């Protein structure tokens, strides 16, 4: 029986090639889009699930609660906390501290720990950690050589991933016992090798240095003070199965009351965050190369489902339209004893055959598109799709679901024909319920496509707005070069800056801890205007030389910059800091004093700069204090004349390598760094563009098929109208007007839905475009034009046909 169904199904496909091409291609496009989105979403949701104790791993984080109800969050904890956790909460199964280092240099010393110089130097942006042996009692790793206790218990030892060992030494087995130098400062002995971490992890373990090294190494942030917190110093705990997270947080609150000093009603607490939330929680961040908002994943999933629904709608529309041509077949089968259940089985089998063909074609399309997946996501292009068992399960499920939902209604309609009416060719569109159903489905289909079009237009406009927004400083043609913080390098800063300024292509140079806009923040508590009362908010810091303001084109609203100095002698603040202090007249703040921390000295405010956006425009502007501090200069900002940029960059590199020969050169333009803030938004805008285009394509396929069906059904009517003098234009309008009305109705449904969705998306930004009518007007106009071109083309073919031939064929 099944073989018979398949043979008949294949014959029908060959008999109706146009119908088959439209159906299979429409379904294939929808399924391919859905498959790619599933691959992205499944990959993002799989982060760190390979750890065997995944459900019991938690990160200890910090929350500061202010008197006004606001709270700030930090993934870092004080360095004494891990010891306190082991002492005060012994029921925790394991506790491990880990401290990440970003932008550090690894120098390969080989077998000679005292080698004075080597050309094998590598700059590592991610993957270097100080960690304790107990970290591997919490997290899984495969040890190729050594073990945690042996390899990470002593000072100046380092464990490498297999990839890093091969990068440094050529063969990982040769790495054991050889030497590396960190930041031209610490000589480390390779004491272990671990297998490479999977791609789906927020812990890119590449270079692991013993925590004992961290304790004894100056300049890396180890402190015994409870008030000092750095976001890179984190602590992870393993809960026993019998201990609930709620009980741990209650105990942590008591621990905080014991160790933290409450300042001006600002309460500091420790919370625990499950490992399952680390990849998605934007409050805290992670050690990986990106965060993914779960709302973004749900949006992607919704887009994929909507595109698939559109493809299924196409199938139902075309299948019911084809029903009339198969009415006699149904009548004959029923007369010969066929029952409705058998007929439904036949039509569902035919549908499944079409869906299987579409799935095969979709898999080929998705496989071809997979290398480009990085354009719309952070999924690596090397990911294996068809080797993923979840993808195979998805394909099976999608085949069954699409076959059932796409095929059930046409099967019910076709199997329900009365044999007498079918054999007498009395089956019409009214019998198949086609008119109301097709109208409803076309409305749904175009409502979905218009939502995607509106979303695309708004997302693109918002990203254009972000690119052109006033930042409060000038980011153009500023080249950033990292500096080294060791004492020898600091003695060369002045010489390096002066020699740069000798180049006529360089306008100005500033040394600072960071440019005005970065993702790195240093916070301090402070006192204002000789008051002994600590404020209920802190300030963020920028440490910079006197040329900072001119190099970045920052505007003063009162006062001026500070004098050149290696240490803090005065302060420049931004407008937001004064507003939070209740100062409205910026000029009146000049001469007032600020003291940083509890033991600092009072120093005057000499200038107030216009507010600048120190990070993404998703975030509100924070209070800032800017002051000199040579020991905290980590970046040189070099303002270059726009002519011959590449030549000037090469000259900067040559001078840098001459001045700091022991370090790796690594520079980039500031505007590129700022653009990275909006990588996820840019990807989402591109996603909307792609899927809006797919939605339009699928809609056009469906409209073309339905227009063709209408043209065939009205062949005789069109011939009579032409004989009676109807113009080609009037016939095109006759065949097109219904679709144009339905698309207008779809817009009425789509507009409020799109407004709600995009208004919610724009709420993520502190600065955003207004939701005007332009995007909505463009969407309806574009939909009408596309629909008219699609339907109009088919209608024009019917209207231009010879009426004598059409009437004779009837």
459-473 pLDDT, tens digit each: 888 888 887 888 888
Residue 89 is predicted with a pLDDT of 92
User: Residue 590 pLDDT > 90, yes or no?
Assistant: yes
pTM for this prediction: 0.81
| Contacts (Cβ under 8 Å, ≥6 apart) of 551 | 478, 507, 508, 509, 510, 637, 638, 639
Structure token pair of residue 535: 């404020």
Residue 30 is predicted with a pLDDT of 86
Residue 803 is predicted with a pLDDT of 61
| Contacts (Cβ under 8 Å, ≥6 apart) of 585 | none
Q: Are 112 and 130 in contact (CB under 8 A)?
A: no
Calculate what percentage of the chain has a pLDDT beyond 90.
Answer: 30
Residue 728 is predicted with a pLDDT of 67
User: Worst-scoring range by mean pLDDT, 264-278, 304-318, 357-371, 643-657?
Assistant: 304-318
For the chain, the residue count is 810
d(CA 131, CA 137): 12
Pick from 674, 390, 115: which is nearest to 682 by CA?
A: 674
First vs last C-alpha separation in the chain: 36
Residue 810 is predicted with a pLDDT of 47
Q: What are phi and psi of 531, to 5 degrees?
A: -90, 140
Chain position carrying tokens 């199997």: 415
688-715 pLDDT, tens digit each: 788 788 878 877 777 776 666 666 666 6
CA torsion through residues 101, 106, 111, 113, sign: negative
The residue-averaged pLDDT of 312-341 equals: 63
The residue-averaged pLDDT of 39-68 equals: 89
User: Residue 276 pLDDT > 50, yes or no?
Assistant: yes
668-692 pLDDT, tens digit each: 888 888 777 777 777 777 777 887 8
Q: Are 420 and 723 in contact (CB under 8 A)?
A: no
**Confidence band (pLDDT; 50, 70, 90) for 423?**
very low
**Confidence band (pLDDT; 50, 70, 90) for 409?**
low
d(CA 577, CA 587): 14
Residue 404 is predicted with a pLDDT of 80
**Confidence band (pLDDT; 50, 70, 90) for 157?**
very high
The one-character DSSP state at 198 is: P
* CA 498 to mean position of chain CA atoms: 41
The residue-averaged pLDDT of 357-364 equals: 90
d(CA 518, CA 539): 16
User: Residue 163 pLDDT > 90, yes or no?
Assistant: yes
**In this structure, how many other beta carbons lie within 10 angstroms of the beta carbon of residue 157?**
20
Chain position carrying tokens 């130097």: 121
Residue 427 is predicted with a pLDDT of 47
User: Residue 808 pLDDT > 60, yes or no?
Assistant: no
92-135 pLDDT, tens digit each: 999 999 999 888 889 998 888 777 666 688 988 889 999 999 99
User: Residue 313 pLDDT > 90, yes or no?
Assistant: no
User: Residue 519 pLDDT > 80, yes or no?
Assistant: no
* CA 466 to mean position of chain CA atoms: 17
| Highest mean pLDDT, choosing among 295-309, 376-390, 538-552 | 538-552
Chain position carrying tokens 């401290």: 99
Cα distances from 348 to residues 5, 399, 401, 579, in angstroms, run 9, 12, 12, 69
**Confidence band (pLDDT; 50, 70, 90) for 234?**
very high
Residue 136 is predicted with a pLDDT of 95
User: Residue 5 pLDDT > 60, yes or no?
Assistant: no
Residue 64 is predicted with a pLDDT of 82
Q: Are 732 and 796 in contact (CB under 8 A)?
A: yes
**What are the E-state strand segments in 660-717?**
668-669
Pick from 105, 132, 100, 146: which is nearest to 212 by CA?
A: 132
DSSP track, 77-96: --TTHHHHHHHH-TTSSEEE
Residue 265 is predicted with a pLDDT of 67
**Confidence band (pLDDT; 50, 70, 90) for 574?**
very high
Mean pLDDT of the chain, nearest integer: 82
Cα distances from 791 to residues 82, 497, 703, 704, 709, in angstroms, run 69, 67, 6, 6, 11
Number of H helices, E strands in the chain: 26, 25
Secondary structure, 3-state, 513-572: CCCCCCCCCEEECEEECCCCCCCCCCEEEEEECCCHHHHCCCCEEEECCCCCCCCCCCEE
Residue 55 is predicted with a pLDDT of 94
d(CA 277, CA 300): 19
| Contacts (Cβ under 8 Å, ≥6 apart) of 455 | 688, 692, 754, 757, 758, 761
Residue 155 is predicted with a pLDDT of 94
Please give the residue that has the higher pLDDT: either 726 or 451: 451
Chain position carrying tokens 């006192």: 527
d(CA 211, CA 234): 12
């Amino acid at each position: 029986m099944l073989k018979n169904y398949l043979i008949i199904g294949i014959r029908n496909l060959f008999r109706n090639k146009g119908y088959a091409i439209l159906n299979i291609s429409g379904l294939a496009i929808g399924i391919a889009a859905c498959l790619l989105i599933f691959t992205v979403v499944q990959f993002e949701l799989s982060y760190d699930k390979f750890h065997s104790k995944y459900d019991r791993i938690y990160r200890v984080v910090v929350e500061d609660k202010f008197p006004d109800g606001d709270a700030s969050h930090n993934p870092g904890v004080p360095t004494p906390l891990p010891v306190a956790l082991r002492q005060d909460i012994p029921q925790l199964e394991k506790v491990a501290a880990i401290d990440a280092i970003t932008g550090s240099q690894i120098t390969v010393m080989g077998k000679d720990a005292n080698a004075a110089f080597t050309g094998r130097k590598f700059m590592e942006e991610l993957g270097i950690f100080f960690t304790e042996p107990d970290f591997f009692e919490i997290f899984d790793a495969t040890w190729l050589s050594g073990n945690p206790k042996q390899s990470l218990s002593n000072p100046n030892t380092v464990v490498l991933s297999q990839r890093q060992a091969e990068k440094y030494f050529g063969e990982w087995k040769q790495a054991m016992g050889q030497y590396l130098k960190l930041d031209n400062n610490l000589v480390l002995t390779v004491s272990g090798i671990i297998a490479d971490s999977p791609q789906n992890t927020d812990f890119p373990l590449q270079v692991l240095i013993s925590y004992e090294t961290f304790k004894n190494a100056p300049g890396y942030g180890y402190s015994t003070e409870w008030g000092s917190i750095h976001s890179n110093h984190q602590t992870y705990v393993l809960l026993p199965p019998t201990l609930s997270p709620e009980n741990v947080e209650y105990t942590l609150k008591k621990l905080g009351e014991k160790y933290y000093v409450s300042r001006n009603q600002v309460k500091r607490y420790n919370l625990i965050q499950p490992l399952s939330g680390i990849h998605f929680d934007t409050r805290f961040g992670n050690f990986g190369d990106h965060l993914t908002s779960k709302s973004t994943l749900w949006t992607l999933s919704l887009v994929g489902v909507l595109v698939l629904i559109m493809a299924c709608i196409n199938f139902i529309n075309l299948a019911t339209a084809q029903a009339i041509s198969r009415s006699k077949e149904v009548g004959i089968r029923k007369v010969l004893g066929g029952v409705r259940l058998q007929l439904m089985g036949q039509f569902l089998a035919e549908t499944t055959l079409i869906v299987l063909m579409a799935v095969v074609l979709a898999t080929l399309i998705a496989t071809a598109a997979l290398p480009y997946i990085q354009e719309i996501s952070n999924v690596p292009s090397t990911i294996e799709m068809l080797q993923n068992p979840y993808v195979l399960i998805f394909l099976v499920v999608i085949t069954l679901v699409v076959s059932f939902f796409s095929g059930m209604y046409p099967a019910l309609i076709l199997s329900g024909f009365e044999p007498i009416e079918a054999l007498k060719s009395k089956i019409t569109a009214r019998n198949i319920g086609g008119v109301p159903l097709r109208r409803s489905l076309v409305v749904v289909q175009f409502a979905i496509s218009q939502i995607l079009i509106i979303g695309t237009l708004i997302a693109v406009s918002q990203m254009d707005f972000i690119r052109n927004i006033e930042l409060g400083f000038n980011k153009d043609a500023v080249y950033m070069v990292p500096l080294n913080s060791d004492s020898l390098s600091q003695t060369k800063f002045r010489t390096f800056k002066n020699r740069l300024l000798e180049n006529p292509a360089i306008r100005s140079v500033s040394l600072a801890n960071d440019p005005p806009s970065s993702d790195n923040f240093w916070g301090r508590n402070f006192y204002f205007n000789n008051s002994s009362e600590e404020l209920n908010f802190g300030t963020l810091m920028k440490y910079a030389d006197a040329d900072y303001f001119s190099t970045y084109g920052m505007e003063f609203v009162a006062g001026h910059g500070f004098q050149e100095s290696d240490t803090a002698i005065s302060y420049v603040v931004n407008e937001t800091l004064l507003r939070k202090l209740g100062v409205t007249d910026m000029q009146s703040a000049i001469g007032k004093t600020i003291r940083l921390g509890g033991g600092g000295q009072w120093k005057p405010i000499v200038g107030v700069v216009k507010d600048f956006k120190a990070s993404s425009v998703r975030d509100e502007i924070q209070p800032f204090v800017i002051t000199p501090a040579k020991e905290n200069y980590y970046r040189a900002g070099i303002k270059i004349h726009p002519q011959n940029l590449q030549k000037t960059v090469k000259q900067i590199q040559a001078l840098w390598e001459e001045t700091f020969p022991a370090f790796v050169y690594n520079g980039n333009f500031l505007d590129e760094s700022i653009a990275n803030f909006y990588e996820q938004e840019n990807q989402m805008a591109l996603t909307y563009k792609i899927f809006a285009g797919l939605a339009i394509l699928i809609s056009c396929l469906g409209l073309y098929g339905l227009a063709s069906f209408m043209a065939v059904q009205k062949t005789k009517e069109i011939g009579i109208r032409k004989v009676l003098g109807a113009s080609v234009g009037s016939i095109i309008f006759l065949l097109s007007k219904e679709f144009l009305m339905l698309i207008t109705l779809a817009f009425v449904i789509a507009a409020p839905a799109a407004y709600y969705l995009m208004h919610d998306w724009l709420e993520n930004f502190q600065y955003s475009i207004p939701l005007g009518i332009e995007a909505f007007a463009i969407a309806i106009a574009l939909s009408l034009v596309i629909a008219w071109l699609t339907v109009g083309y088919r209608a024009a073919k019917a209207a231009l046909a010879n009426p004598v031939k059409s009437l004779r064929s009837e």
